[in-house]
Amino acid sequence: MLDIQKIRADFPILSEKIRGKQLVYLDNGASTQKPKVLIEAEQYFYEHQYANIHRGVHYLSQIGTDLYEASRKTVQQFINAKHDHEIIFTKGTTNSINLVAYTFGRKFIQARDEIVVTEMEHHSNIVPWQILCEEKGCILKVIPLQKDGTILLEDAARLITSKTKLVSVVYVSNALGTINPIQELIALAHSKGAKIMIDAAQAIQHIPIDVQALDCDLLAFSAHKLYGPTGVGILYGKEDILNAMPPFEGGGDMIENVSFAKTTFNALPFKFEAGTPHISGCISMSVAIKYIQDLGLQKIMEYEHSLLEYATERLNAINGLTIYGTAKDKSSVISFLLEGIHPYDVGVLLDNQGIAIRTGHHCAQPVMEYFNIPGTCRASFALYNTKEEVDVLVEGILRAKKMLS
């Protein structure tokens, strides 16, 4: 069992007061808070060990390089990648997906080839493909949503064909909480000879992931949603695919040899890491991962699931409240609306009670369009949330509802 009170004490911000009220932070889908060990690790690094990494002969540069590469190994182990050079440090999930669109996309996807996504994707897994399709004349196919916020595997099987070059699907929907059947989608894609990328931005902090067991070709996530620092993301790719991809950005570190006559590129992972990386963030990311590993992601998942169940039950009991996203397999995200009330109004009134949720389209406008709603209120739970906070949320919603009715 997780000792939640002990865990809460590890996150300094959780004891903040907002407008005089105790903060209840339920916007974890947007970003998670940071444990003290991470904050202190960044501080320690800057105060005692900082220097630019790679190619530096001097002590600080070597320490930094060692820490940076050790962090890559931590990520490798965390998702069970085969090689550490299959782990590329990026700026975030969005950057990771764009990297694939600009490299894999431009090299391997041609006019009339197809890319398959779902209707529940985050904009970051839509717009890069739209830009690519605009340029290349390839076609974006969309696996449609169902009323419960899931997709049907028969739709996927119909849309993923021999014309498909890439399937890029979200593991867990940030707007609805739906956990997609990615094992089946990966098998489907491979059966048609397509590659498949997983947007794991909302999965990595909730579900143990083993990329070798999944056999996905590419996978992306952000550190900041994984209790880690801002400005860091991961692109995992199978070695042969990353090797086949042309470089993305050009610059320092990603080259082997530069001359105006001929430039050659560095090996993985450096080929995709042009310029000075976000050194402090890439290093402190491993502190966040270790923090989670120490607690155990399996246990975290179970705990969050119990929160989800409790919150679902309590919210469902509120008159006039509708939950969007009612899949059987769900992560700890609840999107809801109060009848006849704009989500923004609810958000403002909850904020005044110290309760932080997110309102709006959650960067998933097609989902809102599908349900024909202006947006939702979204409460998303992390490992440090409690049933008591769910109760505060419910009280807050009732109060907002009363004020707005």
Partner 1 sequence: MATINDIQDEIIEDFSIYEDWTDKYEYLIDFGKSLSILDEKYKTEETRINGCQSKVWLYAEKQADKVVFFADSDAIITKGIVGLLVKVLSGHTPEEIAESDLYFIDKIGLKEHLSPTRANGLVSMIKKIKTYGVAFQAIN
- Closest distance between a second copy and the C-beta of residue 226, in Å? 12
Name every residue whose Cβ is closer than 8 Å to that of residue 11 and which is 6 or more positions away in sequence: 33, 34, 35, 36, 384
* Residue 199 interacting partner from a second copy, ligand PLP, partner 1, none (CB closer than 5 to 8 Å by kind): ligand PLP
Write each residue from 75 to 94 as x if it is in contact with a second copy (CB under 8 A), else as -, in one continuous string: ----------------xxxx
Site for partner 1 in 331-350 (CB under 8 A): 341-342, 344-345, 347-349
Binder among 12, 16, 40, 66 for partner 1 (CB under 8 A):
66
Query: Which residue's entry shows tokens 């996530």?
Result: 221
Part in contact with a second copy (CB under 8 A); list of ranges 288-296, 317-325, 360-368, 383-391: 360-368
Nearer to partner 1, 73 or 158 (CB): 73
Question: How many angstroms separate the Cα of 173 from the Cα of each of 121, 137, 362, 404?
Answer: 7, 28, 10, 29
Neighbouring C-alpha atoms within 13 Å toward the C-beta of 324: 27
Beta-bridge partner residues of 117: 142
Note whether 350 binds a second copy by CB under 8 A: yes
Identify the three-state secondary structure at position 196.
Answer: strand
Binding at 320: pick from partner 1, ligand PLP, a second copy, none (beta carbon under 5-8 Å per type): none
359 binds partner 1 (CB under 8 A): yes
Give the one entry of ligand PLP, a second copy, partner 1, none that residue 202 binds, where binding means its C-beta sits below a cut-off of 5 to 8 angstroms depending on kind: ligand PLP
- Residue 19 as a binder of a second copy (CB under 8 A): the answer is yes
Distance CA(231)–CA(242), nearest Å, equals: 22
Does 305 interact with partner 1 (rule: CB under 8 A)?
Answer: no
By CB atoms closer than 10 A (0-12, 13-18, 19+), residue 139 is: middle
The two tokens of residue 120 are 């529940």
Minimum CB distance to a second copy smaller for 18 or for 157: 18
- Token code pair at residue 82: 């085969």
Per the annotation, the verdict on 363 as an active-site residue is yes
Give whole-number Cα distances, 100 to 105, 180, 274, in Å: 6, 21, 15
CB atoms within 10 A of CB 142: 17
Three-state secondary structure call for residue 139: strand
48-77 mask for a second copy (x: CB under 8 A)? xxxxx--xxxxxxx----------------
Structure token digits, residue 10: 């590890």
Given the complex with a second copy, which of 178 and 353 has the nearer CB atom? 353
Tokens of 323: 């939950």
Residue 139 interacting with a second copy (CB under 8 A): no
Is 244 or 348 the residue whose CB approaches partner 1 more closely? 348
**Among the candidate windows 154-162, 241-249, 295-303, 397-405, which touches a second copy by CB under 8 A?**
241-249
Place of tokens 């039950």: 313
72 vs 122 by CB, closer to ligand PLP: 122
Task: Name which of 251 and 374 has its Cβ closer to partner 1.
Answer: 374
Provide the pairing of β-strand 264-265 with 255-257: antiparallel
- Whether the CA torsion 243, 245, 246, 247 is positive or negative: it is negative
Per the CB < 8 A criterion, the answer to whether 87 and 76 are in contact is yes
Task: Give the number of other CB atoms < 10 A from CB of residue 302.
Answer: 13
Choose which of 5, 259, 319, 372 interacts with a second copy (CB under 8 A): 259
List 133, 282, 363, 377, catalytic entry: 363
CB 62, min distance to ligand PLP, A: 18
> Would you say 64 and 49 are in contact if contact means Cβ atoms under 8 Å apart?
yes
Nearer to partner 1, 351 or 391 (CB): 351
Contact 118, 142 (CB under 8 A): yes
Pattern of binders to partner 1 over 46-65, x per CB under 8 A?
Answer: -------xxxxx----x--x
Given the rule CB under 8 A, which of 76-84, 297-305, 322-330, 361-369 is the region that contacts a second copy? 361-369
Residue 267, interface with a second copy (CB under 8 A)?
no
Q: Which residues contribute to the site for partner 1 (CB under 8 A)?
A: 19, 53-57, 62, 65-66, 68-69, 341-342, 344-345, 347-349, 352, 359-360, 374-375, 403-404
| Catalytically annotated residues | 363
